[in-house]
Structure 1
Amino acid sequence: MARETGLKVEGLNRVVRDLQTLGLELEDLKTAFSNIARTGASVMARYVPARTGRLRGDVRGNRAKSKAVVAVGRSTIPYAGPIQWGWPARNIAPAGFFERTDAVMDDVAVRMLEDEINNQIRRKGLS
């Protein structure tokens, strides 16, 4: 069972719809979401344990049109989940790097998104 953690901006979908009626496209916000994901990946990499460095090196921000996603782990690095969430039967304590990243990114992500929305509004002459 996959566990999720993250930052969800309440009302973002409504704001995006309203901005689209003003002439702003989701493509225009892709840069903002990309920057947020890249920043989140950089922050998360500081909290990921680096026993060999493989897991830390796999932290990546994924560019999407309407969201910022930071991912870690894949089939070649299947231990990301046990490191993040812990595995009591194997005496692996949870590292909690997702939660620690969320705590840092809560205000940062909202501010970055707000700045980009304001820049796009000015660029389009909508202010």
Structure 2
Amino acid sequence: MSRADLDVATDGTRVRVEGLRTTLRAMQKAGAATEDMKELMHSIGTLVVQAATPPVLTGRLSTTLRAGRGKTKAVVRAGGARAPYAGVIHYGWPARNIPANPFLTEALQRTRPAILRALDEGLADLLREQDLT
């Protein structure tokens, strides 16, 4: 299995998608618009952003949550200049006795079924648009 393939195991259930990289390359060669893929991946990232519940002290961290626009992967980001402590909040800092609060990882786990459904439907739509089905 290549790195771009998807292999997810949760609660005794394993989902494996093989050939994702090959499918994405074939769609690109066939003329699938890069912007369409970016929009699909952004919408998948947005599912995680909407489900994320970061801790609220001032509310600044929650304003920095955003979904990226990758053409082959969904990316979710938190933090930046307005909240440089986002990584410490999420991963913790044992040397400073700051426990981890993996709010993004938890949001990903909660939305996994919706993400897989959106990926399946989105790729199917793109394949139909390119007459690859």
The structure with more helix, counted as a fraction of residues: 1
What's the TM-score once normalised by structure 2's chain length?
0.75
Distance in structure 1 (CA, Å) of the matches to 2:43 and 2:105: 19
In structure 1, stretches of 5+ residues that fail to align are: 1-7
What's the TM-score once normalised by structure 1's chain length?
0.78
Distance in structure 1 (CA, Å) of the matches to 2:38 and 2:75: 12
Aligned length: 118
Distance in structure 2 (CA, Å) of the matches to 1:111 and 1:102: 14
Distance in structure 1 (CA, Å) of the matches to 2:100 and 2:116: 27
Alpha-carbon offset, residue 53 of structure 1: 0.4
RMSD across aligned positions (CA):
2.1
Q: Secondary structure at the match of 1:99?
A: helix
1:108 aligns with 2:105: no
Q: Residues 27-77 of structure 1, C-alpha deviation per residue, up to 9 Å, x if partnerless? A: 332221111121121112x2x101110011111111222221110011331
Letter matched to residue 14 of structure 1: T
Instruction: State which of 22, 38, 49 in structure 2 corresponds to 1:41.
Output: 49
Distance in structure 1 (CA, Å) of the matches to 2:131 and 2:87: 46
Aligned to 1:61: 67
Q: Flag the 1:15–1:105 CA change in 2: closer, same or farther, 3 A.
A: farther
Distance in structure 2 (CA, Å) of the matches to 1:102 and 1:53: 21
Say whether the 8 Å CA contact 2:89–2:101 is kept in structure 1.
yes
Say whether the 8 Å CA contact 2:45–2:76 is kept in structure 1.
yes
1:80 aligns with 2:89: no
Alpha-carbon offset, residue 23 of structure 1: 4.1
1:93 aligns with 2:90: no
Letter matched to residue 118 of structure 1: A
Say whether the 8 Å CA contact 1:9–1:110 is kept in structure 2.
no
In structure 2, stretches of 5+ residues that fail to align are: 8-18
Q: Secondary structure at the match of 1:56?
A: helix
Alpha-carbon offset, residue 22 of structure 1: 4.3
The structure with more strand, counted as a fraction of residues: 2
Alpha-carbon offset, residue 94 of structure 1: 0.8
Q: Residues 73-119 of structure 1, C-alpha deviation per residue, up to 9 Å, x if partnerless? A: 11331211111111233332111113202212333222211101111
Aligned to 1:3: none
